[in-house]
Structure 1
């Protein structure tokens, strides 16, 4: 994940209106409810979320990758992300989502956050 994954690639934090910056932070936090079904750790702490933005139609655009390009569970992750960002009690954070599956830069264990490493160790993984 980038140093500030909630910021669109073409904007710096200083250029974002306060409401959008807060929304992007809320979206990133909500994505922590999306758990990789194979590893049991959320996609943010695994470093699978490369970027989050919201377009003028209130659709969240997520740049994400997977631990393996051959992962058969993209539908599960997409369904979880849609529920986390558009569902829940009351109105969702956004009206819909679009995930851009990206493969560059490739995912590697170096992208896992410290929290993600702790979660993996608790599950018995060596990282």
Structure 2
């Protein structure tokens, strides 16, 4: 399942603001998916982000702008057992923002299977369903 939004023209939002919004959308999507998958035993839900500033805001107890504070609170109250960082180069979503062709996307292992390190569970390689 995926969700995306186009950056609004007005009001102007900073890149870190867009990143905290992306994490908020991910939180809402995770809640929706978990509520829909009632017959599936999901034991762990992890939020992955390549935005270090958004992760700092989410984990911070410092006074932040109201916009950031409200979104960070919603994310912290979300369904996640963990909130983790991963390198931008390993972000499949960024393929789309970098102008990948349809052919390139259809052949992209990163897009269809995710980064290699994510396939390892307890030190063992996990076979992908694709």
| Structure ranking higher on relative contact order (CA contacts 8 Å, 6+ apart) | 1
Structure index of larger Rg: 2
- TM-score surpassing 0.5? no
Please, what TM-score do these two structures have when normalized by structure 2?
A: 0.34
Decide which structure has greater helix share.
Answer: 2
